[in-house]
Structure formats: C-alpha cells, structure tokens
Structure 1
C-alpha cells in the first residue's frame, strides 16, 4: 500500500526541517517550514514511478514551492527510477524524486533544484545534418515497421539507379550522390560489388532495392 511509504517520507522531510501532515487538500503529504510565510512542500506517493505520478505532481505544482514524487524501489532495479529519460523529465519539470527501500531507507534520486540536463550538442548536430541532407520528406513520422529513408539510404539508392544500366565509377555518380565513393566501398546494404579497381556493379540485392523503392531517383 502507498501508506507504507508515508512514514519514511515524513521522517525524511521532518529531518530536513518541515512539519509534515498527510492528506491535506488531496495531496498525499504536505510539509511546511517554520518560516513566515512558510515554504510549502508537497510529495505524492505511488508504489512505482509512472506517468500518473508525474501528472499528479504537475497538478500540485501551482500550490507549492517544492514538489517531490516518491515510490518504492523496483525489486529488480528496472523501474523508472533507473530510466534516464524519466529522471531528466523530473529535472526539467523541477520535481524531486525519492526512492523508498524495503527497509524504509529514503534516497534522493533527483533533487528539485537539480540542474537541467545539458544539451547533447553532438546529437543535435547529427539531427541538423540529417535533416539538411535528406531529400524531401520520404518517411512519415511514427513509422516503425518499414526501414527509415535516411539521407544515406537515399544516396545509396541514387548509386544503385546510376549503376543499374551498367558499371560505374564513384566519380561518375558523385553529382547525384556526393558520398558515392564511401557508400560503394563500405557497401552497407550489400547492393554493390567491385568488379575491377574503382568500378562497381549492382548485386541482386541492389536490384531488389530498386524494385522496393522505384521512385528512389526522384526522392
């Protein structure tokens, strides 16, 4: 029961200097500092960290100075408390996370004053580069069952289109596929084969790819 989490969290917040009471105005737990006006701390309890717990915290945020969410630690250590995305969400919202062990020990997973997650500049740059390199908008957002038509795949298909009617050198198809040399040499999809030094032909897999994506040259 969620009530089993109450006393460990109450003791934790009281040790931090708050006077704590349960079930105040639909909040699982409310703590007040001794200041005037007091600092208002709200904590919502659940047996496991989940989205509903975060939504409850969002609802309480306008009535408090500090919001915590608390839940029992997952028995196998695979709960949301181990999910970096969930922790980052709490950081961005300014919510603290408290994990309660079976023995009543309370650990701070995220502080409500934790710094915002740093931007991943490398990942951001890759997104910008892929967006700019991709021709048109060939893949609908939300697609999970079909291969994504990346800029790399588009160029590989452009190479296949150029080679389907005869062997080619990378420099001959560079106008439509700037990375032709790398694509043909690495042959990630198995679409090409080198028949002579610097000369490539299309494999059966390459021919099948052109049948699967017949508009590849106009993507």
Structure 2
C-alpha cells in the first residue's frame, strides 16, 4: 500500500526541518518549513515510479515551492528509478525523487531544483491554512476509501466529545473548537441536534463517530507494510 511509504518519507522530510502532515488538500503529504512565509513542499506517493506520478506532480506544482515524488525501489534495480530519461524529466520539471527501500530507508535519487511554474496562490493558501489548523498528523499519506481527518472534522469531534455527557452551549465549545458555531449550524455530518437556541445535543450518528475515532482526532496510526 502507498501508506507504507508515508512514514519513511515523513521522517526524511522531518530530518530536513519540515513539519509533515498526510492527506492535506488532496495531496499525499504537505510539509511546511518554520519560516514565515513557510516553504511549502508537496509529496506524492506511488508503489512504483510511473508517468501517473509525474502527472500528479505537474498538477501540484503551482501550489508549492517543491514537489517530491516518492516510490518504492524495485527489487531487481530495473524500475523507472534507474531510467535516465525518467530522472532527467524530473530534473527538467524541478521535481525531487525519493526512493524507499523495502527496509524503510530513503534514498535521494534526484534533488528538487528551482523552477518557476505558474503559481496558484489560492490553492497554496488553502494547503497552508489546512496544514496549520490540523492538530497533529492524523492521516497517513496515500490513504484511500477512508474519511480524511481534516481540521474541520477534528473540531466537530471535539464538539461531539463535549456533548457525550449531555447538551452543550455553543459559547462553551468555542474554547476548544473556534468554529463550533458554524459546525453546529451546518451540521455537515449529522452529529448534532439543536435543542434550543444556542444549545445542541449529540445524535446517534455523533455517538457512532466517537466510537469510530476513540483514539482522538490528532494521532496518525502507522500502517504496516
């Protein structure tokens, strides 16, 4: 699974001074430096280097400063990572290439270079805001078919947990969930029921959500290879 590549790549980027979180804004991972404004890195993961991985990088390039493409190294050493044409294409695009061994170590195959693609400041801003607002790193990059633990869902779970013992007032929830008013009003997940003005209770769907995420909304669960 692609998620098996996430933790090795995350650790590598963290060793370079980045804060890494998985599945942000549709990207397998987003890493931010501690600068202001931060350097934005997008990483995409695949089990092998292929054209689709490069195309994903092209799609992401406008929203970040660096693109890293990561895939598992082939057992026989004859995968695309050994194809000079593939590596040269990544160099021309300015993309970095990371190879992940079957033991979980990471090799830098191509370092990213400075290029000037057409920027998409709105998309970049959305990625930075979601990364900064999300608590911890709750989703392994490369996850599919599962709900993504966004900052919005994290705050909704905070509200739900507070209501586990009874109804709550919106103003009391805002301490831990600043967007509580909007979350309860729109009730996207169907977790809340308005009892009276400014007071909400938990629905059966909300209780089910608390059982689904008993470990809390901020921890990333390592996925075995």
TM-score (norm 2): 0.50
Match of 1:207 in 2: none
Listed one character per residue, the Cα deviations across residues 153-192 of structure 1 (whole Å, up to 9, x for unaligned) are xxxxxxxxxxxxxxxxxxxxxxxxxxxxxxxxxxxxxxxx
Structure 1 residue 31 and structure 2 residue 34: aligned? no
Match of 1:21 in 2: 21
Distance 2:42 2:67 in 1: 5
Listed one character per residue, the Cα deviations across residues 113-136 of structure 1 (whole Å, up to 9, x for unaligned) are 289xxxxxxxxxxxxxxxxxxxxx
C-alpha contact 1:91 1:114 (8 A) present in aligned 2 = no
- Using CA pairs under 8 Å that are at least 6 residues apart, name the structure with larger relative contact order, 1 or 2: 2
TM-score (norm 1): 0.52
C-alpha contact 1:44 1:56 (8 A) present in aligned 2 = yes
Listed one character per residue, the Cα deviations across residues 46-105 of structure 1 (whole Å, up to 9, x for unaligned) are 000000000000000000000000000001111000000000000000000000001111
TM superposition shift of 1:30? 0.3
Match of 1:88 in 2: 88
SS in 2 for 1:74: coil
Task: Give the 4+ runs in structure 1 shifted more than 2 A.
Answer: none
Match of 2:111 in 1: 111
* Unaligned runs of at least 5 residues, structure 1: 116-219
Match of 2:134 in 1: none
Match of 1:8 in 2: 8
SS in 2 for 1:49: coil
Distance 2:114 2:40 in 1: 18
